[in-house]
């Protein structure tokens, strides 16, 4: 028999017992249609026309339920958790998206709601009222997933801090993967099947929505994207295989052939190489300005048809800072988009979208992942803009593996704790370094001596965990200092739990001669130190002892 609505009873599985939805908290709030609504023991979804996310429809299974499933059914469910049995398949598009039941319809005087199509599991008949995830938010539309944006208003009102959001967004607040597990399952699949050819045709003609292929989306990856969207206050987020992948795809997707961009002189070297070497092959030109040069930005906007202003803030490695509100207002007056690479800031220290930027980009490899064990990059912003990037991303294929997405989700749950520790350690160490006689200069936005300190103080709540500084010495004495350190690893990257130190002149620019390195401001005595979560006293002692060796 086909069971209509929710809860669901597995009456043909012997000795299994009742099967019902677990009640979830009421996440509804005034304003736009709520993303989550709870009606007693049944979780219901908002109308598909609102394009809001899917509520977390979580089922409780009796202990012996798994044993009652056939081997085939268990095998089909293994990748996404036992709780996720089938994809939803409401066949009548006229049925509201709210989990109606025949009895409920009768009580209002209307005809009974059509029963959802049933899917057989051995001798039992299962109501397919379980929906797998989709990108950027999920709504029930004829029982299928719909790719839409996650807006800032979707975040439950009872979560008032970034710390809580990093833990629960995308999971407790409405995870597409239905399971009683606290952690999000990893969906290791390269493709998604269609039950019949008619369903495939419906998909091709936009009446049915599916991930279809692993390059186009994955339920585990969606959880990571929704978590980042909630933290940034963005309508949509797309996550890719690395930060450079996110940067290059974004630039190619949003800047037309023959277009013009404006970027800053201080930036990650590989980003500069792409802008100076690869974009010209598409006829795209660039104006490079100092991060604080708003007059130069205004001139570039007036003299060129600028499509995009793209800069880091803070920048790498000198931690320069742009006034995001000022540059956003200026660019928007000339029809240019603004993308801020906020990797050094993290979403906790700076909200670029709230300050006026159109997009915020992160190398999630760094603070967001936070454990030096995963590569990823992400871009957040308005749905319309992210969709343009998504189209090219699906063609180029820099897809994040779902196992890496799981590591991002895991890492983000401690993001607020890690960033607090790293902010504190970096600030205190910057002050110590600035006062030390063997340190020539310190670059850190938390110091009043930094040229953009006041701008950073206005738009940031913390100044990050990375400090750059110049040793009072030459290449050899700087090497001696680095080699004398016992706690940090000598390595590229930053933002993880373990402290990392490097000399940019060697790590990133060793292929250039000294004169060419210094054109970019990279001196032989420059050190970039990413402070991890080790105890401050240990790091302080280690740094001071290493300085004593030179």
List Cβ neighbours of 208 (8 Å cut-off, separation of 6 or more). Answer: 142, 144, 199, 202
Q: Quick one: pLDDT at residue 156?
A: 58
Q: Quick one: pLDDT at residue 171?
A: 86
- Cα separations in angstroms, 68 against 17, 42, 64, 79: 11, 25, 7, 18
State both tokens at 503.
Answer: 């000399």
Cα gap 74→301, rounded to integer Å:
59
Each residue's pLDDT expressed in tens, for the chain with a length of 550 residues: 333 333 333 333 344 344 333 333 333 333 333 333 333 322 333 333 333 333 333 334 444 444 444 443 444 443 333 333 333 332 333 333 333 333 333 333 444 444 333 333 333 333 333 333 333 333 323 333 222 333 444 455 677 899 998 888 888 766 777 788 899 999 999 999 999 999 999 999 999 989 999 999 999 999 999 999 999 999 999 999 999 999 999 999 999 999 999 999 999 999 999 999 999 999 999 999 999 999 999 999 999 999 999 999 999 999 999 999 999 999 999 999 999 999 999 999 999 999 999 999 999 999 999 999 999 999 999 999 999 999 999 999 999 999 999 999 999 999 999 999 999 999 999 999 999 999 999 999 999 999 999 999 999 999 999 999 999 999 999 999 999 999 999 999 999 999 999 999 999 999 999 999 999 999 999 999 999 999 999 999 999 999 999 9
Cα gap 324→321, rounded to integer Å:
9
Cα gap 380→136, rounded to integer Å:
10
Q: Cα 57 vs. chain centroid, distance in angstroms?
A: 23
Q: Is the model's pTM score more than 0.85?
A: no
Decide: 71 and 15 in contact? Cβ < 8 Å: no
User: How long a stretch of residues is the chain?
Assistant: 550
Q: Quick one: pLDDT at residue 63?
A: 46
Q: Can you give 70-116 as a three-state secondary structure string?
A: CHHHHHHHHHHCCCCCCCCCCCCCCCCCCCCCHHHHHHCCCCCCCCC
Q: Quick one: pLDDT at residue 13?
A: 38
Decide: 185 and 177 in contact? Cβ < 8 Å: yes
Q: Quick one: pLDDT at residue 173?
A: 63
State both tokens at 398.
Answer: 């820099």
């Amino acid at each position: 028999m086909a069971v209509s609505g929710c809860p669901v009873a597995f009456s043909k599985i012997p000795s299994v017992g009742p099967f019902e939805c677990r009640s979830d908290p009421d996440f509804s709030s005034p304003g736009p249609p709520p993303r989550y609504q709870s009606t007693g023991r049944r979780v219901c979804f908002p109308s598909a026309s609102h394009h809001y996310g899917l509520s977390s429809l979580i089922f409780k299974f009796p202990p012996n339920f798994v044993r009652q499933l056939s081997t085939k059914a268990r095998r089909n469910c293994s990748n996404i958790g036992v709780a996720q049995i089938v994809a939803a398949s409401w066949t009548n598009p006229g049925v509201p998206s709210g989990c109606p039941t025949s009895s409920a319809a009768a009580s209002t005087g209307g005809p009974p709601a059509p029963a959802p199509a049933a899917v057989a599991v051995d001798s039992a008949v299962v109501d397919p009222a379980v929906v797998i995830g989709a990108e950027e938010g999920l709504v029930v539309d004829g029982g299928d997933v719909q790719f839409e944006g996650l807006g800032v208003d979707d975040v439950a009102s009872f979560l008032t801090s970034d710390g809580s959001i990093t833990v629960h967004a995308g999971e407790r607040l409405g995870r597409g993967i239905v399971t009683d597990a606290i952690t999000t399952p990893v969906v290791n699949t390269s493709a998604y099947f269609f039950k019949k050819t008619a369903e495939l045709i419906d998909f091709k003609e936009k009446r049915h929505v599916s991930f279809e292929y692993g390059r186009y989306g994955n339920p585990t990856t969606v959880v990571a994207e929704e978590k980042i969207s909630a933290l940034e206050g963005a309508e949509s987020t797309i996550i890719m295989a690395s930060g450079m992948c996110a940067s290059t795809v974004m630039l190619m997707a949003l800047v037309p052939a023959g277009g013009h961009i404006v970027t800053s002189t201080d930036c990650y070297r590989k980003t500069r190489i792409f802008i100076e070497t690869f974009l010209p092959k598409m006829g795209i030109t660039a104006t490079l300005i100092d991060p604080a040069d708003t007059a130069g930005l205004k001139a570039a906007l007036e003299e060129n048809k600028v499509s995009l202003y793209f800069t880091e803030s803070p920048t790498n490695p000198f931690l320069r800072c742009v006034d995001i509100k000022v540059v956003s207002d200026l660019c928007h007056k000339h029809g240019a988009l603004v993308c801020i690479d906020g990797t050094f800031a993290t979403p906790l220290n700076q909200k670029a979208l709230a300050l006026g930027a159109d997009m915020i980009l992160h190398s999630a490899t760094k603070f967001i992942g936070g454990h030096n064990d995963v590569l990823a990059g992400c871009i957040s912003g308005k749905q319309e803009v992210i969709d343009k990037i998504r189209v090219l991303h699906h063609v180029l294929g820099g897809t994040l593996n779902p196992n890496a997405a799981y590591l991002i989700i895991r890492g983000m749950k401690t993001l607020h704790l890690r960033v607090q520790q790293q902010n504190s350690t970096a600030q205190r160490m910057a002050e110590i370094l600035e006062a030390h006689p063997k340190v020539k200069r310190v670059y850190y936005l938390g110091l009043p001596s930094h040229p953009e300190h006041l701008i950073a103080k206005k738009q940031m709540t913390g100044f990050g965990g990375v400090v750059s500084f110049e040793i009072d010495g030459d290449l050899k004495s700087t090497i001696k200092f680095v080699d004398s350190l016992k706690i940090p690893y000598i390595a590229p990257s930053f933002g993880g739990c373990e402290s990392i130190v490097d000399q940019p002149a060697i790590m990133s620019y060793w292929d250039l001669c000294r004169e060419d390195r210094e054109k970019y401001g990279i001196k032989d005595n420059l050190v970039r130190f990413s402070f991890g979560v080790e105890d401050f006293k240990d790091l302080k002692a280690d740094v001071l002892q290493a300085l004593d060796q030179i």
